[in-house]
């Protein structure tokens, strides 16, 4: 399904204690399929309780570059996503971005999911 030049990275973040995501999953995760060479986000999926939320998050991230589009991604999330997990999305994205940089530099991610 995915080309050999893609990698999978999962970014994680804590959510509020009363958040349905915390109750169901314990934490918030976004799994990214990324082109190893370009940094383009090919696909993603998030630990959400509603499918429309997952689809919306996907629409904010897929097609963007995990490194080059940081400001665009942050702005889109802040301007368009008003669910209780807004901060968690940003933190999970930054966590995945950090892992991608480590992989690019030849270091493996410390937290493997």
Q: What is the pTM of this model?
A: 0.85
What is residue 71's DSSP assignment?
H
Residue 100, token pair as written in the block: 């991608």
Q: Which CATH number fits domain 6-104: 3.30.420, 3.30.390, 3.30.2320, 1.10.3470?
A: 3.30.390
pLDDT tens figures, 4-60: 999 999 999 876 666 555 555 568 899 999 999 999 999 999 988 789 999 999 999
Q: Which one, of 30, 26, 28, 40, lies nearest residue 9 by Cα?
A: 30
- Domain-by-domain residue ranges, the chain? 6-104
- 6-13, strands of its sheet edge to edge: 6-13, 28-35, 41-46
| DSSP category for residue 27 | S
Sign of the CA dihedral with 59 first, then 84, 28, and 11 last: positive
């Amino acid at each position: 399904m995915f080309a050999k030049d893609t990698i999978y990275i999962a970014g994680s973040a804590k959510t509020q204690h009363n958040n349905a995501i915390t109750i169901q999953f314990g934490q918030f995760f976004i799994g990214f399929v990324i082109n190893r060479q370009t940094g383009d986000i090919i696909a993603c999926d998030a630990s959400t309780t509603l499918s429309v939320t997952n689809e919306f998050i996907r629409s904010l991230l897929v097609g963007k570059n995990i490194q080059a589009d940081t400001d665009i991604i942050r702005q889109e999330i802040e301007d368009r996503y008003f669910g209780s997990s807004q901060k968690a999305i940003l933190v999970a994205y930054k966590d995945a971005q950090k892992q991608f940089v480590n992989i690019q530099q030849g270091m493996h991610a410390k937290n493997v999911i």
